[in-house]
Structure 1
């Protein structure tokens, strides 16, 4: 939920980064909204997998964006989060 809130209301530098990556100036709100939706979907057990799947798609999009713009210093945290979300999604099928 924090990531979604930061993306929606974040500092000017964050909003400028979206524009530098080629996204429309308002796209930080879409990104934040999707982050918030994913986190809310993870809460009830009946939609946890859907929330994790959405979060994994968001992480993949973030990694692709960073790789496309060669921002390698920012990729470790996104990669860690992607692996964590992927692991949680895979292990959620055991129950």
Structure 2
């Protein structure tokens, strides 16, 4: 029963946000929310990425993962194609693990 209530609450919240976007689309409120919302999204994504990089459950994920993600971040900042970024990051992480760096 709790799951059903949670799904209904999330559905109602989603509907309210979408309806609010249509209603307040061209107003000053929309510009103010966009001004504060864009940096908030960047901070949220950076926090999730850092947590996923550094932790595996409750413990440290290991230096191999950190090296792979760092490689991916550097290559992405250089605007390398995504396929190359993914293959290089996986290669760095796999090589580190093969060398015993975990």
- Which TM-score applies when normalising by structure 2? 0.27
Report which of the two structures shows the higher radius of gyration computed on alpha carbons.
2
The structure with the greater share of residues assigned to helix is 1
